[in-house]
């Protein structure tokens, strides 16, 4: 999994204290972003934060997904294709937001957010602005008032 985050997403292994259990800290531009722990460590409940045993098995377990900011979607998609990682695109033109969703080797969904995209690349995918609103999703009143 560490290699996936480094090779596919461009993270680098960062210095980590000499904890009494295995793991990695990964970062971008010298700033730590992700802490990774190793599965199968005896007595892991002593070292980790207390997720139920086997919680992260079968998809993403206790976490639905994680999101990162990214730049240059064209370059990113070319890179994903080159390393054989499928992606699911979505765009939200109203917010100038373009997203890619990928899975890491453990099945965790990763959302990559590209802001400031005025025209989504023609890769298919879902357009949030054309999706029906869920009954519980209310329009932003500030935006509705400004449009009136």
82-102 residue pLDDT tens: 999 999 888 887 788 888 999
d(CA 33, CA 26) in angstroms, rounded, equals 6
pLDDT of residue 84: 94
What is the pTM for the complete model shown? 0.68
Asked if residue 55 has pLDDT above 60, the reply is no
pLDDT, one tens digit per residue, over 121-148 is 776 667 766 766 666 555 554 554 444 4
Q: What domains does the chain contain, in order, with CATH numbers? A: 1-50 (no CATH), 63-148 (3.30.720.110)
pLDDT of residue 91: 83
Give CA separation, 129 vs 97, 112, 124, 134, 139, in Å: 11, 18, 14, 12, 12
Share of the chain above pLDDT 70, in %: 68
What distance lies between CA 67 and its chain's CA centroid? 3
Asked if residue 74 has pLDDT above 70, the reply is yes
If you average pLDDT over every residue of the chain, what do you get? Answer: 78
Please name which of 12, 8, 61 lies closest in space to residue 34, comparing C-alpha atoms: 12
Summarize the chain as % helix, strand, coil (round to 5). Answer: 20, 30, 50
Please say whether the beta carbons of 115 and 99 come within 8 A: no
Strand, helix or coil for residue 39: coil
């Amino acid at each position: 999994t560490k290699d996936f985050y480094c090779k596919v997403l461009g993270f680098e292994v960062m210095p980590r204290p000499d904890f009494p259990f295995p793991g990695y800290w990964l970062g971008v531009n010298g700033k730590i972003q992700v802490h990774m722990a190793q599965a199968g460590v005896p007595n892991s409940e002593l070292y980790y934060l207390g997720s139920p045993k086997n919680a992260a098995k079968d998809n993403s377990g206790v976490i639905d997904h994680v999101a990162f900011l990214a730049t240059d979607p064209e370059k990113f998609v070319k890179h994903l294709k080159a390393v054989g990682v499928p992606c699911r695109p979505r765009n939200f033109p109203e917010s100038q937001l373009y997203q890619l969703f990928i899975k890491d080797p453990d099945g965790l969904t990763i959302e990559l957010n590209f802001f400031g995209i005025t025209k989504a690349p023609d890769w298919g995918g879902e357009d949030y602005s054309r999706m029906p609103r869920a009954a519980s999703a209310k329009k932003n009143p500030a935006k509705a008032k400004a449009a009136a």
